[in-house]
């Protein structure tokens, strides 16, 4: 995972990110600043996803 992360970091300026993704990230950041959203532990997110779907 660290190798993948390092590789993505080094090539970030050459990766394409669609406009909708930038918009979604800005919205998420805004919600986090306003305490309208929160982070959850990865294991909990996986459990929640399995029970939801």
- Residue 37's pLDDT is 87
Which pLDDT score is estimated for 52? Answer: 76
Q: Per this entry, what is the length of the chain?
A: 53
Nearest 5°: the CA angle 34, 38, 44 is 175
pLDDT at 29: 94
Whether residue 1 is contained in a domain is answered as: no
Query: What's the whole-number average pLDDT of the chain?
Result: 89
The verdict on residue 3 lying in a domain is no
- Local confidence band at 14 (pLDDT 50, 70, 90 cut-offs): confident
Q: What is the number of structural domains in the chain? A: 1
For range 25-38, the mean pLDDT: 92
Do 15 and 22 touch, CB atoms closer than 8 A? no
List the alpha helices (DSSP H) in 1-53. 2-10, 19-33, 42-52
Instruction: Answer yes or no: is 7 within a domain.
Output: no
Segments forming the whole domain that contains residue 39: 17-53
For residue 45, is it within any domain?
Answer: yes
pLDDT digits (tens, 9 = 90+) for 19-30: 999 999 999 999
């Amino acid at each position: 995972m660290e190798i993948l992360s390092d590789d993505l970091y080094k090539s970030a300026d050459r990766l394409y990110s669609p406009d909708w993704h930038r918009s979604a990230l800005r919205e998420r950041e805004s919600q986090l600043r306003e305490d309208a959203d929160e982070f959850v532990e990865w294991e909990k997110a996986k459990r929640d996803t399995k029970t939801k779907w």
